[in-house]
Amino acid sequence: MESVRRITRVLEVESMGAVVPIDLSLPSDARVCNGLQAMVVGLFPRVVSRDDFGELSLSFNGKAIHPFHQLVPYESSRAPMATPARLDLLSLSTPLTPSSRVTGFYRDLNAQVEPFVPYRVRLSLNLLIA
């Protein structure tokens, strides 16, 4: 049976429309990234749930593979049920070179109403280990 490591990296978004560069190192024994999810941490009372809160682009293995360019949603606590089904990871099956790096960016899509409230985005990655 395979071995799995789940890692989380946190991005800090400090201003409206900010582009946050991403440059992450992965464990040296990681062989495949088989899942990924990005989640906004924070509640913004005047923002309704939306699919286009942010934009995330990630490349693996020194930009050799670019499997992920996707919107990051925001879920308001006023949604009928904040998490009706269990949030799962988006499927990936990206082979990793030893000591692979993940690079890319997160862009805030100006969904907040002024005044802007800084927030965090959690990146969760599932890695298969050799």
Partner 1 sequence: MKQHKYQLIRVHVPEPGASVRFTGETDRSYGRLAGIFVAMPEPIKEIGAALGLKIGGQEIFDDEHDVRLLTCGREVAPNDKFYQFPEHIEAGGASIEGRLVDAANSDQGYPFEARIILHLVSEK
- The residues of the shown chain that bind partner 1, judged by CB under 8 A, are 1-10, 37, 39, 41-43, 75, 77, 79, 81-89, 122, 124
CA angle, 26 as apex, 22 and 27 as ends, to 5°? 160
Place of tokens 């941490």: 41
Residue with smaller CB distance to partner 1, 69 or 122: 122
Neighbour count for residue 105 (Cβ, 10 Å): 17
Residue with smaller CB distance to partner 1, 37 or 57: 37
User: What's the min distance (Å) between Cβ of 4 and partner 1?
Assistant: 5
Residue with smaller CB distance to partner 1, 3 or 25: 3
User: What's the min distance (Å) between Cβ of 22 and partner 1?
Assistant: 15
Kindly state the tokens that stand for 58.
């990630």
Are the CB atoms for 113 and 5 separated by under 8 Å? no
